Amino acid sequence: MGLISLIWGIVAMVWMVLALIPLISLTNWLLIPFAAVGAIIAAVGILFTRSGKRGRAKAGLVLNGIVILVAIARIGLTGTGGLI
77 assigned to some structural domain: no
In a domain, 80, yes or no: no
**Residue 82 counted as domain residue:** no
Residue 70, CA distances (Å) to 15, 45, 63 in order: 12, 23, 11
**CA–CA dist 61, 82 (Å, integer):** 27
Could you read off the pLDDT of 17-34 as tens digits, one per residue? 988 887 777 788 899 999
Residue type, 1: M
Is residue 47 situated within a structural domain?
A: yes
Q: Write out the residue range of the structural domain in which residue 59 sits.
A: 2-64
Core vs surface per residue 57-66: b (16+ CB within 10 A) or e:
bbbbbebbbe
**pLDDT given at position 82:** 53
The whole-model pTM stands at: 0.86
Q: How many domains does the chain have?
A: 1
What are the average pLDDT values for consecutive 10-residue runs of the chain, which has 84 residues?
Answer: 92 91 81 95 93 91 95 81 52
